[in-house]
Structure formats: C-alpha cells, structure tokens
Structure 1
Amino acid sequence: MSVRLTIGLLLNPFAGIGGSVALKGSDGADTVQQALARGAKPLAIERAKMALELLRPYQQQLDFVCAGADMGANCLEALGFNYQVIFQPNVPSEAVDSHGFVNALNQYAQQHHIDLLLFAGGDGTARDVCGFIDERIPVLGIPAGCKIHSGVYAVTPIAAGRMVEQMAQGELLSLAEANVMDIDETAFRQGIVRAKRYGEMTIPDDLRYVQSVKSGGKESDELVLQDIAAEVIDLTEDGLAIMGSGSTVAAVMAQMDLTNSLLGVDVIAQGELMASDQTANQLLTHVQLAQDEGTPCKLVITVIGGQGHVFGRGNQQLSPALIRTLGVENIIVVATKNKLQSLQGRPLIADTGDAELDQMLSGYIRVVTGYRDYVMYPLASPS
C-alpha cells in the first residue's frame, strides 16, 4: 500500500561546519565565519541528500514544502522532487530563518495537512524548531551537526530516509515524545559538558507495535480503554465534545460515568452529558453556538473493526459541514492497537460523501491508543 505524503523540509546549511576545523560546534554567525575562514566545507546538504536519495522511488507520492535556496529548495530541485517554497531565507541563512520557516509551516498547516517536518542540523537546529513548531506536527531530524544529544534525530541520515520510506509504504509507525537537548558550547570548548533540556517534540518512532500495556506483554483491552478514556478526558474537559458511535467511544463514556447512545452520536460539555442521539443538523448547531462563544470543540470517533472506516459507516450524522466547521485538527480518533492490527496494514477510510473533504482528511493521522500513547496510521479516501 502506498500513501501520499506532504513533508516540510528544513536544512541548516551550516550545521556541523565547525566540527572538521576543531571549533566544536557551529552555533552563531561568528563561529560559521571562523569555520569558513579555516577552509571548512558545508556538509549538511550532502547529509540531507543521503536521506532523500532513498525516497526518489516515491517521488510521485511525495510533496515537499520548504524554505528557499540552500535551506531546502536547491536540494529538492537537484533530486527532482515536487516542492513548494513557502519561505525565503536570508543569503547566507541565519538562525532567524529557521524560526521564520517553522512559523510559515505552522500557518500552512492551518489549511493543509502536514505529515512530517524533516529537518537537517544539530542540537541548535532542533532547539530552533522546538521553540516554534506547532505541537501537532511530528518531526524527524537528519543528523548533520557537531552535537547530537537530542532524541529527535535518526541515528544516521540513511535511517531518517528509511523511516520516511516506511511512511510512504503505508507502514504503521508509533509516535513518541523525544527530548530536545543542547550543551553549552562555550563550556564545551573548555572541556566541560553541560547539557540542558529545552523541550520535547513528537517523532515517528521505530515500530514496536504490540507492546506491553500492563498485561503479560500483550495488550489488555479493558486496561487500554481506561487509558484511552483518561487521554480523551484530558483533551476534552474544557470544552464541547461530539462523541461518535461505536464500542470504543462507548467505553470512554462509561469511564466518564455518562450514558451513551451506542449507535448514535452524543454531545458532552465540560465532562457532562449535554444531548443524546443527535441529528446532523443538531450537531452542527451545537458546534456553531459553542464556537461563537469561544468554546473549544472536539470530535471523538473510533474505527470500525475489520473494515477501518472512520467516516461513512454508521455515523452519517457526522456530515461534511460538521467536519469542516470543526476542522481536521480537532478530530480525535481512538482505537486499541489490537483493533488497528486487525486491519492487517489496510488504511483507515474516510467516505464522507464529499470527495474533496475525503482527500483533505487523507494522510497520516494520530490515533489515541492509550494515555499519552499515540500511533501514526494512514487514512485514505475511497479513490
């Protein structure tokens, strides 16, 4: 199974430039100039090409959005990939250009689905990304710097390319939170290693699909449903939530001690049942009124076991108008890993009756599989 992906690409062309000339880092314009004066050659673009070369067989499936010139566009142009420039950096580029691109990517993601931000650099680049990236966008680093203490990087450029290749092939990837670390370069040059944590970002993790969840090395659905319910409560407690049909959502509502319409769609507000078994028009009215009052709104839905439908089977109350009004970013898909595994690699399906919306929903989505536990899983339209 192949999946079409939209990938943000950011290259720090001067990452690692100080290493070969004994500057022990590349942070700061002065260090870059010193490195160039000593004859250092930028290697980050070549490191990025090592990862991207593996993806050339998937060119027709990959759409890149990137920064201009050496921060992305030149590399993609040389390899023949489809790309769109959404930010023009300074020449030569500076750290502020990384900030500018990430902000531009966040704005782009408000209207378009972004499956991954792929960036090449070192710990300084990871810090630049972490400080600005929308937390809903998974990231993966191509190691190209002198200092790689952060857990957001693949072990090698080839490994980064392999992970994106897995996504293009439709393989299931777990999501994990990884720390962004950096050391004090001034202290490092004096022989002192002083690392500091600057935050965390979400990365696609190596697949360990059926992992131990409190019960003898296998997933216990009863315990997992409790964990899923706890995560949904955290995500919805301050606003309005449309609770879709299905046994997994019913189990979530049971954990909240709320009555559920198993084959219907209910509405909860601030953790209390507001309305049961609602029609499409009623649901749209609830959301519009809540949004007018500034109340956050979410949609909680599950997967039909064995079939993989998320929209279009048994939940026609979730109309295209409702989904568009809510926004893709406010859809929470819940499922046990056992249920996902039963699909045997087939993608989830969106069949809303609106072909344009189905295409907009397609791509990798986060599925809540436990408390602070997510899986990246492909969703496709009928076409």
Structure 2
Amino acid sequence: MSFTLGLIINPFAGLGGSVALKGSDGADTVARALELGAQPRAQLRALTALEALKGLTFRLITWGGDMGELVAREAGFEPEVIGRQQGAVSTAGDTETAAMAMVEAGADLILFAGGDGTARNVCATLGTSCPVLGIPAGVKIHSGVYAITPGAAGEIAAMLIRGELVALDSGEVRDIDEEAFRAGQVRARYYGELLVPSEPRYVQHVKNGAREDEALVLDDIAADFEESMESGVRYIMGSGSTVAAIMDHLGIPNTLLGVDVIEDGELIASDCTARDLLTLTQGCAARIVITPIGGQGHLIGRGNQQLSPELLNRLGRSAFHVVATKTKLKLLAGRPLLIDSGDSAVDQALSGLVAVHTGYRDQVLYRIG
C-alpha cells in the first residue's frame, strides 16, 4: 500500500508579519493586512516543501482551492481532493474539518502550513491520533510541531515516504494572545500536544521564554553596542528582550515585539513594516541588530518578517550585529542559528560564521546553518 500524505494550507497564515500586525488571526486582521499591501506567503512556503517530494510515489490528499489543491497542482502532483471550505474565505473550522477528514481517509502524515493558530486548530481536532508536521508560515511560531524551514518539512516527509526510520514524539502546541502581543506583552499558553516526527536536524524546539537573571550581561552587551555605533548609520533594531535592553540603555523608546530604526542616537521610525525598512535604508548605510529566539535559534523568520528577503539581500550578512548572552547560545546545544526568510537563495547566501556579541568587547563565532 502506498504512503498517504495529507496537505492543509491556511491561506492567510503569516499575512500580517511583513506589515507589522504581529499576527494574522481574525477576519479584521486579514482585511487590514491586505489593505496595507501584505502578500500571502503560505502557499509559496507549502510549494517549497512539496519540491522535496518530486519523483516519489505516494498518494496525496488535500482540501480544495487555496487550502492545498492549487499548490499541489502547481508542484506537478495530481492530488485527491476530499473536501472544500464552506464559505468564500477559509476559517479555523475548515482546517479542523479537513484534518479529521484526512485521518478518516487514511493519512499516514499530515503536512499543514500555518502558524501557532493553525497548530491549535489541528491539535483541537486530532491530538496525538495521527502524525503531523507544520510547514512554518505564520508570524509567531512558538510551538514545537514545525519544521525549521519549509524545505526541512519536505525532507522529513520524503524520508517517511521512502520508508526511512524516523522516530515519533509529542510536540507542544503553544500560542499567544495576539491583542496582548500587539500591546507588547507575551502571554503564551499551552494548548496540548501533537504527534510529530522527532528529527532534531529539521524540527524546531518550543520557544524558550524563560527570563534569565543576566542584567549585568545585558548591560555589557548594550555598552558594547553603544561604543560600536557609527555616525550616519541607520540601525534596524529587531524584536526581543536582548535588543530591548540595548534600546533601554540608549534611552530610546522601543517596540519590544516590532522593528524600529535609529540613527545617531535618535529614533527615526518605530514598529516598521517591510516596506518602511526598504524605504528607510535606500541609499543609506544600515545595519541589522538581531538576537536569536531562545531555545530555537531562529535569527530571521520568527516574529520579524519585516526583515524581508529584499532587505537581507541588499544588506548582506556583513550588516548583521547579532547579540545574545552565552547562556542563550549554550541552550542551543551546538545547533546552528537559523534563517528562514522565505527565499532559499537568500538563506543560503547568509549562511556561515557570524560574530555574536556576548558582552563588553566579548564576541564568539557561531554558525548560521
């Protein structure tokens, strides 16, 4: 009997990231994101995952239209469409219905493209009854049920289709309150567990939100950055508490969960969109100040989609000013830092060793994988 792969896409996943809306949950947020010029990205990321499956023999089942069928056909497959969304726009209910239908149709693995909200929908329906794996497409991805990149999701599915031995384990589903998130507060909640392939090279860990008592280290990192600042350079200040500590040290207002731009010690723009950043750095010397997500190691692609492939390609890895405590790096247990910009060529170009500023005049070299 051939392997049966299910495919579900949340068409609006990640829509709000590039336009600084911090999420995509809710019809109002989707409408606002589209109004601001956001472009859907979930289908493209699902397409990237499916590229790894070409040439393999398996049965592909999916939901109609932009919830999977269109992307599957674009990738060159002839999917079996086992259902369609109920209204003109897909909903969480459609995701839940699709997940259950795929289990009933004999799915051996379900790939779903989305973010933490999509993982919640799948979890509410399936629990650990069927192996699943997320294709990362959302703005916020705290859950430990997603591959580190869309391509990695495809690689794991290919391993299973080929009959290779891949262990299964439970992965936590976590999500945050988007309204609180937009107000600068992170309120994460545990929603349950899903059964996922346990392949450390390809599956991300749950975001580590533990707060370290490392105020002195953060002060040293901030002082080191202040000393390194150059006149006339525009610094793109990424999200996260480590970068926030630098902004606090400089006495500049900060968007904890957004991206700001400073120059010569002054705030130029706050909570910028991807388009804002392209405009603000056109013809200017610029650097990107970023920190990896604790426990995961993502530098780009988790909560900072404002750092678009166009911007990254323009500035290059030499423009990175990476900051992190040594404790945060040790928690990665040797795993590389990760970039998932949405453009594999850009991700590849940015790979290699990067200096991570870990204190005052203290740096370590760490690999971007």
The two structures have a TM-score, normalised by structure 2, of 0.52
1:19 equivalent to 2:17? Answer yes
Residue 188 (1) aligns with residue 188 (2): no
1:136 Cα deviation from its structure 2 partner: 2.4
Instruction: Tell me, yes or no, if structure 1 residue 146 matches structure 2 residue 142.
Output: no
CA apart distance, 1:105 = 2.1
Q: What whole-Å deviation, never above 9, does each CA across 1:355-379 have from its counterpart, x for those lacking one? A: xxxxxxxxxxxxxxxxxxxxxxxxx
Confirm or deny: 8 A CA contact 1:143 1:153 kept in the other structure: yes
Contact between 1:173 and 1:207, CA under 8 Å: does it hold in 2? no
Residue identity matched to 1:154: A
Cα drift, residue 165 of structure 1: 1.4
Whole-angstrom CA distance in 1 between matches of 2:18 and 2:55: 33
Matches of 1:68 and 1:185 in 2, distance apart?
28
Q: Give the 5 Å matches for 1:146-165.
A: 146-165=139-158
The CA deviation string for residues 112-169 of structure 1, in whole angstroms up to 9 with x for no partner, is x321011000000000100002632100000000011000000110111111111122
Which stretch of structure 1 is more off in the superposition, 166-175 or 69-78?
Answer: 166-175
Shift of the alpha carbon at 1:68? 0.3
Tell me the amino acid that sits aligned with residue 139 of structure 1: V
Is the CA contact (8 Å cut-off) linking 2:130 and 2:195 kept in structure 1?
yes
The answer for the alignment partner of 2:170 in structure 1 is 177
In 2, Cα distance between equivalents of 1:151 and 1:199: 11
Where structure 1 has 5 or more consecutive residues not aligned to the other structure, the ranges are 209-383
Deviation (angstroms), 1:78: 1.2
Secondary structure in structure 2 of the residue aligned to 1:131:
helix
Gaps of 5+ in 2: 202-369
The equivalent position to 1:62 in structure 2, one of 55, 58, 63, is 58
Report what 1:42 is aligned to: 40
Q: What secondary structure does 2:20 align onto?
A: coil
> Displacement, 1:94?
1.6
Contact 2:9 2:68 in 1 (8 A): yes
Q: In 1, Cα distance between the equivalents of 2:74 and 2:151?
A: 18
Query: In the TM superposition, what is the alpha-carbon distance from 1:207 to its structure 2 partner?
Result: 7.1
Alignment of 1:285-324 (within 5 A): none
Q: CA deviation at 1:65?
A: 1.1
Give CA-to-partner distance per residue, 1:169-216, whole Å, 9 cap, x none. 2210001000000011111111111100000010011179xxxxxxxx
Aligned to 2:3: 5
Distance 1:186 1:194 in 2: 10
1:118 aligns with 2:118: no
- Alignment partner of 1:102 out of 89, 99, 102: 99
Instruction: Summarize the alignment of residues 1-383 of structure 1 with structure 2, pairs less than 5 Å apart.
Output: 4-58=2-56, 61-89=57-85, 90-108=87-105, 113-133=106-126, 135-206=128-199
Residue deviations 1:327-365 (CA, integer Å, cap 9, x gap): xxxxxxxxxxxxxxxxxxxxxxxxxxxxxxxxxxxxxxx
Shift of 1:91: 2.4
Query: For the residues of structure 1 that align with 2:60 and 2:71, how far apart are their CA atoms?
Result: 11
Contact 1:174–1:207 (Cα < 8 Å) also in 2:
no
Q: TM-score, normalised by structure 1?
A: 0.51
Aligned pair in 2 of structure 1 residues 52, 33: CA closer, same or farther (>3 Å)? same
CA distance in 2, matches of 1:62, 1:38: 40
**After alignment, is 90-99 or 33-42 more displaced?**
90-99
1:129 aligned partner, one-letter code: V
SS at 1:102's partner residue? helix
Deviation sequence 1:243-301 (CA, Å, 0-9, x none)? xxxxxxxxxxxxxxxxxxxxxxxxxxxxxxxxxxxxxxxxxxxxxxxxxxxxxxxxxxx
Over 3 Å off, 4+ runs = none
Q: Once superposed, what is the RMSD of the aligned Cα atoms? A: 1.5
Work out the CA distance in 2 between the residues paired with 1:145 and 1:131: 18
| Cα deviation code 1:41-79 (max 9, x no counterpart) | 100000011110111121xx1211111000000111111
| Alpha-carbon distance in structure 1 between the residues aligned to 2:194 and 2:161 | 21
Aligned-residue offset at 1:103: 2.7
Give the direction of change, closer, same or farther, for the CA distance of 1:62–1:195 in structure 2 (3 Å limit): same
What is the aligned-residue identity percentage? 51
Measure, in 2, the Cα distance between the counterparts of 1:37 and 1:94: 19
- Contact 2:69/2:79 (<8 A) preserved: yes
Closer, same or farther: CA 207–28 of 1 in aligned 2, 3 Å: closer
Residue type of the partner of 2:90?
A: S
Alpha carbons 1:140, 1:152 under 8 Å: kept: yes
Measure the CA separation in 2 of the matches of 1:134 and 1:121.
17
Count the aligned residue pairs: 200
Aligned with 1:65: secondary structure? strand
Describe the SS at the equivalent of 2:6.
strand
The range that moved more, 9-18 or 78-87, is 78-87
What is the CA-CA distance between 1:82 and the residue it aligns to?
2.9
